[in-house]
Amino acid sequence: MKKNHQFHLVDPSPWPIIISLSVLNLTLFNVMFFNVKKTSLMMMSMIMTTLIMFLWWRDIQRESTFQGNHTKIVMISMKYGMMLFISSEILFFFSFFWSFFHHSLSPNYEMGLMWPPLNIKSFNPMNIPLMNTIILLSSGISVTWAHSSMCFNNLNQTNKSLFITITLGLLFSILQFYEYMTCPFCISDSVYGSSFFVTTGFHGIHVIIGTTFLTQVLTRLKMMHFSSKHHLGMEMSIWYWHFVDVVWLFVYMSIYWWGK
């Protein structure tokens, strides 16, 4: 059916309701994991959610690349949507920082009236945390290089810079995993352990999501889905990665350095 406007009326899709049910199951199985320590249902639900995400992305890529539905008007609305999403993520992390500063600025009697609480040995901010900060700041430079190269239609440099960014993201996740394995305290060690692991853990999940996002962009780039005038998916992944970078700076300065 021929249309006489620049807007894209989305076709009926099964993915929103399916992924809603899948995320609900993932939440319930996470709660079950906390109580019975069984990971099989949680991992199965996580794999299912990831699969649905990729199938949904596939449909959106078809609309953009092959069907030509993403006009300039549609892309503007998508940019606003991404801005609102990142704003909601900022408020999400703001709640964790609020909790951290609330307890660290006025530690109660049960914590020994001190921060970090009594008998909790915090990390040295000059070791792995500093290395991870350098890694993420470097990845911010390389992803900016990727965007600049894409704007000049230099696909060779875009491929190289995106690969460097993805490698740095993976290196960050590996170092954080090592940090967790050697951590002298756990999530149940007072409010310090909860604040530390919840904040850094959710940030680590965002790094993994951002790395996946950039990997998908690199795959599409190799399939010639992007050009200097049409690379909205890549641009949004770069916005997301910069958001992850900025949040880490606050995590490092507050939890690792100031809260030591």
Looking at residue 40, which CATH number applies to its domain? 1.10.287.70
pLDDT band at 189 (very low <50, low <70, confident <90, very high): confident
pLDDT band at 17 (very low <50, low <70, confident <90, very high): very high
pLDDT of residue 85 exceeding 80, the answer is yes
Residues 35 and 96 in one domain: no
Q: What percentage of the chain has pLDDT greater than the value 90?
A: 50
Segment 8-12 mean pLDDT: 71
Residues 254 and 238 in one domain: yes
pLDDT of residue 1 exceeding 60, the answer is no
Nearest alpha-carbon partner for 133 in 246, 213, 258, 240 = 246
pLDDT of residue 175 exceeding 70, the answer is yes
The two tokens of residue 31 are 């709660």
pLDDT of residue 229 exceeding 90, the answer is no
Q: What does the pLDDT read at residue 163?
A: 96
Residues 120 and 185 in one domain: yes
Question: Number of helices and strands (H, E) in the chain?
Answer: 7, 0
Q: What does the pLDDT read at residue 64?
A: 74
Residue 232's domain spans which residues? 71-258
Segment 169-196 mean pLDDT: 91
Q: Which residues contact 11 (CB under 8 A, 6 or more apart)?
A: none
Residues 94 and 216 in one domain: yes
Q: What does the pLDDT read at residue 5?
A: 60
Q: Specify the residue for token string 């703001």.
A: 94
Which of the given ranges, 116-125, 133-142, 185-194, has the highest pLDDT on average? 133-142
Q: Which residues contact 14 (CB under 8 A, 6 or more apart)?
A: none
Residues 44 and 91 in one domain: no
Q: What does the pLDDT read at residue 89?
A: 95
pLDDT of residue 259 exceeding 70, the answer is no
Residues 54 and 122 in one domain: no
The two tokens of residue 135 are 């890694």
Per residue in 34-52, pLDDT (tens digit) is 888 788 888 999 899 889 9
Segment 161-179 mean pLDDT: 96
Q: What is the mean pLDDT of the chain?
A: 88
Q: What does the pLDDT read at residue 3?
A: 61
Residues 207 and 178 in one domain: yes
Cβ atoms of residues 71 and 6 within 8 Å? yes
pLDDT of residue 8 exceeding 70, the answer is no
Distance from C-alpha of 172 to C-alpha of 206, rounded to nearest angstrom: 12
Number of structural domains in the chain: 2
Per residue in 60-73, pLDDT (tens digit) is 888 777 676 777 78
**Within a 10 A sphere around the Cβ of 239, how many other Cβ atoms?**
17
Burial label, 209 (beta-carbon count in 10 A; 0-12, 13-18, 19+): middle
Domain boundary among 20, 37, 69: 69
Residues 100 and 50 in one domain: no
Which of the given ranges, 70-79, 82-91, 121-130, 180-189, has the highest pLDDT on average? 82-91
What CA–CA distances, in Å, run from 54 to 21, 27, 212? 16, 20, 10
Residues 190 and 210 in one domain: yes
Residues 101 and 115 in one domain: yes
Q: Specify the residue for token string 């609480």.
A: 117
Looking at residue 187, which CATH number applies to its domain? 1.20.120.80
Residues 77 and 50 in one domain: no
